[in-house]
Amino acid sequence: MADPARARRLAVRIRQIVSATIEMQIKDPRLGMVTITDARVTSDLREATVFYTVYGNDNEIEDSARALASATGVLRSTVGKQTGIKFVPTLTFVADIVPDTARELEQALERARYADAELARAREGAEYAGDADPYKKPAVDEDEDDDLAEDDLADDEVTVEAGAGRTDDFADERPSATAQRSAS
């Protein structure tokens, strides 16, 4: 197993070599506008995966994939000569999906921005469908409030008389000791 830092350095170097070789030496007419986006090397430095994108339609992408597959031997020998390592990694070319994913995300964000703008336009002159205060309050009759207040005062007076000056919680239930002595 090689050092992970060494594998990363080799991957960067392979990406540089492959992109320069494709640009300068490979003259295949099927090869479209290819961009090498990334390269990854296994920890044993035996296999390298090279990611690429192609600017064009599906037919040009397929043609470029075939051209890269046919040029793999030339690219591998160039990598071996320029890196000087004992075992040259096997090159595998994989179409990179990151640009497609980024394009889909951009489109989704654009749709979200459009929907937000539509909601903002609809919200400008709109008012709430219900009342200004949406919370329900219990219906109270004003006549009942007055009656309840008078009943409460009458109950308070009875309690004070029954307690005869007592301050404990049992004033309503038992007569005080002074009331018992005066009754006997």
CATH number of the CATH domain containing 26: 3.30.300.20
Give domain status of residue 113, yes or no. no
Dihedral angle sign, alpha carbons of residues 53, 57, 61, 67: negative
130 belongs to a structural domain? no
In a domain, 115, yes or no: no
Predicted local distance difference test score (pLDDT) of residue 12 = 94
Structure confidence at residue 184 as a pLDDT band (50, 70, 90): low
Look up the domain containing 77 and give its range. 4-98
Same domain, 94 and 163: no
Least confident of 22-36, 64-78, 106-120, 161-175: 161-175
At residue 19, the pLDDT reads 92
- H-helix or E-strand spanning residue 91: strand 90-95
- Taking all residues of the chain, what is their mean pLDDT, rounded to a whole number? 81
Strand pairing class (90-95; 47-55)? parallel
Do 78 and 8 lie in one domain? The reply is: yes
The answer as to whether 104 is a domain residue is: no
Comparing C-alpha atoms, which of 8, 5, 6 is closest to residue 40? 8
Q: pLDDT tens-digit profile of 125-137?
A: 777 777 667 777 7
Is the pLDDT at 179 greater than 90? The verdict is no
Question: Residue 79: which residues within 8 A CB-CB, separation 6 or more?
Answer: 14, 17, 18, 48, 88, 89, 91
**Residues 64, 54 contacting (CB under 8 angstroms):** yes
* Residue 116 pLDDT: 94
Residue 42 within a domain: yes
Please indicate, yes or no, whether residues 94 and 32 belong to a single structural domain of this protein.
yes
Position 183 in a domain? no
Residue 159 falls inside a structural domain: yes
Give 67-124 pLDDT, tens digit per residue.
Answer: 999 999 999 999 999 998 889 999 999 998 887 888 899 999 999 999 999 998 888 8
